[in-house]
Structure formats: C-alpha cells, structure tokens
C-alpha cells in the first residue's frame, strides 16, 4: 500500500493514560492521532521506539479504535459525562470535507470509540472513507465491502468535527455501517495495522 499508519509523537503535555503512551522522558505517543501518511512525507529516522513502547501503543490504538467491541459486534457505548452539542457516533456515515483528497466532500464511517467521540472537549475522530473499488491490485486485499461501496482498511483519517455534515447522507448512501460491516473492518484493521 502507498500509505502507512503512524502514531505521531508530541512533546509530553498530557498525563499518561490508555491512549497517551510515554515514549521517553520528553515525548508521548498520542494513540488517538492515527492516520494514513504517504511514504514520501517521511524524513530521515530520528530514533526507534522500544518493544515495550510499541506494545503499549498497540494497546492504546486498539482501545481508541474499539477493535474488540467492533469485532464482537457489540453496540457502541458511551459512558460518563458526554458533550451536549453534536458529535459523530461510531459506525455513523457522514459526508466530510478533505482538501487533501479534492474539492468535493467524501463519505466517511466513524470507527473511534464513543467514549472518545462523546467526551467534552474532543474535536476530532478516526474514520474510514467509503469509496469505489480500487483499481490497484496491491490494495484490494485490504478492501472491505460496505453498503454500495468499499473501505480500504489501511486508510485511516483523523477528521475534525467541524468538517462533518451533521445530518446523515441523503438518497442511496448508507446512513451507518452495520454490525457485520463494522466487524469486518475491525477484523481487517487488526491485520493491516498490526494490532493483534
């Protein structure tokens, strides 16, 4: 595949948690900021995460993407204090703008955990884009059928809430991903993103 999934590393300004993993004394891996990055965007390596860090990052990304619940086809849940304004729900499908792809809005299915999506102060979520079947043979083995389209399980987007259309798509477009489709995407993501 052309794209890789990365977890950007930031200067440590957040307390460690399930999705904020310390890398060293000055940096953390923010497991909620996972997205596809083209290979040619990368510069020279500046270091390597230890195996223990990599294991904790995988656990954090699995939790953020709610892999186990989605694979088990359990309904999304959100507990605790939830925001009062609109927020995208897991498995919902919405149009959203992405200037990196083109001028037209694209269809996205939300895959992040609803505890994250509904938390006060959250401003972005993880989503996969619904698209037509890719012509590139090397990408087809990562494709999962969804509604009238396909999802490439290795293409993951960090989408700001401000970019979403809040109403469900009209007409023939799917309004949400089914439990079976969500499980299919999550199962394939385990392999594609090396989250087992």
H-helix or E-strand spanning residue 55: helix 51-64
Q: Is residue 196 part of a domain?
A: no
Nearest CA to 194 among 34, 84, 21? 34
Q: What is the pTM (predicted TM-score) of this model?
A: 0.87
Indicate the average pLDDT of the chain: 85
pLDDT of res. 78: 82
Structural domain containing residue 106: 83-176
Q: Is residue 64 part of a domain?
A: no
Q: Count Cα atoms within 13 angstroms, Cβ side, for 186.
A: 27
Find all residues with CB under 8 Å of 190, minimum gap 6, and list them. 67, 71, 196
Domain count, the chain: 1
pLDDT of res. 50: 82
Q: Is residue 152 part of a domain?
A: yes
Confidence label for 166 from pLDDT (cuts 50, 70 and 90): very high
pLDDT (tens digit, 9 = 90+) per residue, 46-96? 777 788 888 899 999 999 999 999 999 999 888 778 899 999 999 999 999
DSSP characters over 64-88: HTTHHHHHTTPPP---SS--SS--P
Q: Is residue 137 part of a domain?
A: yes
pLDDT (tens digit, 9 = 90+) per residue, 113-125? 999 999 998 999 9
CATH of the domain at 99: 2.30.30
Q: Is residue 114 part of a domain?
A: yes
Q: Is residue 165 part of a domain?
A: yes
Task: For 71, list phi and psi in degrees, rounded to 5.
Answer: -60, -40
Distance separating alpha carbons of residues 103 and 177, to the nearest angstrom: 25
Mean pLDDT for 157-180 is 91
Contacts 24+ apart (CB under 8 A), 45-48: none
Q: Is residue 58 part of a domain?
A: no
């Amino acid at each position: 595949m052309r794209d890789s999934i990365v977890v950007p590393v930031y200067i440590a300004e957040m307390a460690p948690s399930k999705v904020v993993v310390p890398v060293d004394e000055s940096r953390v891996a923010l497991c909620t900021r996972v997205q596809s990055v083209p290979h040619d965007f990368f510069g020279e390596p500046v270091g390597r995460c230890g195996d223990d860090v990599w294991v904790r990052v995988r656990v954090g990304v699995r939790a953020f993407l709610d892999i186990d619940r989605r694979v088990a086809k359990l309904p999304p849940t959100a507990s605790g204090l939830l925001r009062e304004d609109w927020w995208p729900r897991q498995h919902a499908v919405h149009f959203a703008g992405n200037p990196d792809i083109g001028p037209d809005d694209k269809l996205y299915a939300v895959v992040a955990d609803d505890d994250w999506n509904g938390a006060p102060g959250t401003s972005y979520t993880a989503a996969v884009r619904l698209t037509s079947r890719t012509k590139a043979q090397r990408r087809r083995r990562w494709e999962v059928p969804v509604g009238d389209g396909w999802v490439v399980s290795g293409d993951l987007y960090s989408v700001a809430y401000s970019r979403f259309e809040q109403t469900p798509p009209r007409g023939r477009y799917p309004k949400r991903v089914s439990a079976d489709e969500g499980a299919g995407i999550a199962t394939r993501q385990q392999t594609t993103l090396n989250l087992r």
